[in-house]
Amino acid sequence: MSEEIRLMKGDEAIGEAAVRAGCKAYFGYPITPQNELTAYMAKHMLDKGRTFIQAESEVAAINMVYGAASTGARAMTSSSSPGISLKQEGISYLCGADLPCVIVNVARSGPGLGGISPSQGDYFQSTRGGGHGDYHTIVLAPKSVQEAADLTYEAFSISERYRIPVLVLADGLIGQMMEGVVFKDEIDPASLPPEPFAVGHQAETGRPNRHVTSINLVPEELEKQNIVRFERYGQVKKELTRYEEVQVEDADLVLVAYGTAARVCLGALQDARRKGLKVGLFRPITLWPFPDAAIGRLAGKGSRFLSVEMSMGQMVEDVRLAVNGRAPVDFYGRCGGMVPSEEEVLAEIERILGKRS
Amino acid sequence: MAEFLDYFRKERLPHIWCPGCGHGTVTGALVRAIDRLGLDKNNIVLVSGIGCSSRAVGYLDFDTLHTTHGRAIAFATGVKLARPDLKVIVMTGDGDCAAIGGNHFIHAARRNIDITTIIMNNSIYGMTSGQYSPTTPHGMFATTAPYGNVEYEFDLCELAKAAGATYVARATSYHVTLLTDLIEQAIMNKGFSVVEAMTQCPTYFGRKNKIGGPVETLNWIKDRTVNVKAASSLPPEKLQGKMLIGELYKAERPEYTASYMEMSAKVQRTYNDNFKYKGGDRGCELNSD
């Protein structure tokens, strides 16, 4: 039944996936290029008896998420880069209170108001926590409408498993383009087990009152709390790190790219292979945890690397950390809403491999 | 007769507002008011946030700040306190000013800081393609209100008045002469002034609510208004669901930058007096307070 292929915009597919994942509460605010997602939720949450609110600001929306998540509901918000910046305070508090939720960033170009065209300039913000304090969010980076739907669907259960907010980092191109998509089965929110931290229903169960907070003024206790959280991050690194490899085994040069840039790189790879150049592609799917061990393994085999990004060079720093001096790491990027072309990437591949021979 | 185009950055024209949009009319009214007052445009700073309305300052040949969503008034507060001699005018919209910027709006009113705020209220988020705003009437449609708006709208003039603004007025892009007069009064008021300009968004509000095109949407706004002078002689049933236009509130209250400078002058005197016995300029060792 759910095998039906639907032609949908990325933004709408993310919305449908969230509805099917049993998202019980969604809080949005207008910003391009994710407006179709908010509109989709407005239409489909209400008719399922669930919550949709267009908040008065992104700050309000993320704090509404905190409130809904505190009750154990699957809660979500979405925005685009400038709006995600506004949410950072709330995300830090969510992480401090160990509350699960899903945040979607259909990223656009910056800094500041920037433009509404796609960009990967939010990599640092996404993978380094983004707000104040010692924390991480889990970051999933889809490359297609299908993957955006699948990762959003899964994001809810991942977030609950580890009690860490999950950030789905798409970009304006994935949000706006239409592709065929097959959805997973619908989960009824009522069928989900109650969360052990949730407020509400106290009278029925007679349990002690719960206190959802991120504050701890006792340094010894707060340190311990953070250490425990980082032990959980260690577990996430072990269990969740994901990536896709294409023809890396014999590659002299491995392109490292995620999301939209990885699609461009796949085309460049095919062109390069036709020219007899041994090029591979390494595509991180989790940006945090970053698949550094897998990249390290390729570095050990003698491949060199080219990080291709829609930014001035952000993920390239993680690639260099993973490679740890064992191989040269180059960078090619476009920014400000420009998407690199396959030809540009191919020219860069030829320049690097030509230089080497 | 002044050349009104001199107030515009001609190289930025034509503007990107949709055909039939009312924002150009409001911008025109502002320029005419400034022209009529004979103000030097080099002593005026225009500040805007994000949204269709906020595009206006990009087209106007003044010193301008295009800032973050909702917070133009906070930026304007910074400008005004650094340069109290300048006229500071904020151009904002209903979403910008009343949703994300609501807090800045009421606090500027509370301070009664000498800033003129022109709210282009088209009852919709136009730039992001038609979401409901805090001034979308209850029951009306928007992309995020597909079943009709469940929320109720703000009366921005009542809000401004309650928060402490000392000049509050409303007109529409239909009542252009009135709008120009009110903006003129607002600019001359020494304090926080608000002019709410109801404008038509045929592209999203008009179309989504099946009102029609620009003319029908403009008429829809006009038909919802009653002049405040006429209202006093009308029975209550005639005022049901109507918005009052005209000068709605005017008050005398100390203006913030003036009060601030006054206090500053007083404090400086006390401070210097206190340290006089140390002799000469304050040394570094005295900076620990």
Ordered by start, the domain boundaries in chain B are 4-253, 255-289
B251-260 pLDDT per residue, tens:
999 999 999 9
Strand (E) or helix (H) holding B85: none
Q: Rounded to an integer, what distance in angstroms lies between the CA atom of residue A129 and that of residue A90?
A: 12
CB neighbours of residue B160 within 10 Å: 29
Q: What is the mean predicted confidence (pLDDT) over B40-53?
A: 97
pLDDT higher than threshold 70 for residue A250: yes
Chain A residues inside the 8 Å CB shell of B128: 30-32, 35
pLDDT higher than threshold 50 for residue B1: no
Q: What is the mean predicted confidence (pLDDT) over B9-33?
A: 97
CATH number of B4-253: 3.40.50.970
Indicate the residue of B70, B127, B147 with minimum beta-carbon distance to A46: B147
Contact A29 B102 (CB under 8 A): no
Give the contacts of B26 (CB within 8 A, at least 6 positions apart).
B53, B56, B118, B120, B173, B179, B197, B199
pLDDT higher than threshold 50 for residue B29: yes
Contacting B residues, span 63-92, partner chain A, CB-CB under 8 Å: 66, 68-70
Contact B192, B284 (CB under 8 A): no
Q: How many CA atoms lie within 13 A of A106 on its CB side?
A: 34
Q: Rounded to an integer, what distance in angstroms lies between the CA atom of residue B117 and that of residue B94?
A: 12
Q: What is the pLDDT of residue A3?
A: 78
Domains of chain A: 6-201+227-239 (3.40.50.970), 244-353 (3.40.50.920)
- Mean pLDDT over all residues of chain B? 93
Q: What is the pLDDT of residue B65?
A: 98
Q: What is the pLDDT of residue B267?
A: 82
pTM of the predicted model as reported, rounded to 2 decimal places = 0.94
Q: What is the pLDDT of residue A209?
A: 86
Rounded (5°) CA angle B88-B89-B90: 125
A143-181 pLDDT per residue, tens:
999 999 999 999 999 999 999 999 999 999 999 999 999
* Burial (CB count within 10 angstroms: exposed 0-12, middle 13-18, buried 19+), residue A244: middle
Q: What is the mean predicted confidence (pLDDT) over B96-125?
A: 98
Give the pLDDT band of residue A355 (cuts 50, 70, 90). Answer: low
Q: How many CA atoms lie within 13 A of A88 on its CB side?
A: 18
pLDDT higher than threshold 70 for residue A56: yes
Sign of the C-alpha dihedral computed for residues B98, B104, B107 and B109 taken in this order: negative
Name the minimum distance, in Å, from the CA of A175 to any CA of chain B: 14
Strand (E) or helix (H) holding A296: helix A292-300
Indicate the residue of A35, A58, A113 with minimum beta-carbon distance to B128: A35
Q: What is the mean predicted confidence (pLDDT) over A84-89?
A: 98
A178-198 pLDDT per residue, tens:
999 999 999 999 999 888 888
Looking at per-residue pLDDT, the higher value among B29 and B266 belongs to B29
Contact A56 B102 (CB under 8 A): yes
Q: What is the pLDDT of residue A357?
A: 45
pLDDT higher than threshold 70 for residue A103: yes
Residue whose token pair is 């151009």: B91
Rounded (5°) CA angle B52-B8-B53: 10
Q: What is the pLDDT of residue A197?
A: 83
Contact A299, A282 (CB under 8 A): no
Q: Rounded to an integer, what distance in angstroms lies between the CA atom of residue B135 and that of residue B223?
A: 17
Start-to-end C-alpha separation, chain B:
58
ipTM score here?
Answer: 0.92
Percent of chain B with pLDDT over 90: 90
Identify the CA nearest to B48 among candidates A28, A108, A113.
A113
Q: What is the pLDDT of residue A202?
A: 77
Cβ of residue A51 closer than 8 Å to a chain B Cβ: no
Cβ of residue B131 closer than 8 Å to a chain A Cβ: yes
Please list the residues that pair with B83 across neighbouring strands: none
B262-285 pLDDT per residue, tens:
998 888 765 556 555 445 555 555
B203-234 pLDDT per residue, tens:
999 999 999 999 999 999 999 999 999 999 99
Mutation for A interface: B68, B135, B144, most A CBs within 10 A: B144
B197, B238, B241, B242 from B225: Cα distances, Å: 12, 11, 9, 5
B160-196 pLDDT per residue, tens:
999 999 999 999 999 999 999 999 999 999 999 999 9
Contact B144 A28 (CB under 8 A): yes
Q: What is the pLDDT of residue A52?
A: 98
E-state strands within chain B: 44-48, 63-66, 87-93, 115-121, 167-172, 193-198, 225-227, 243-250
Name the minimum distance, in Å, from the CA of A171 to any CA of chain B: 17
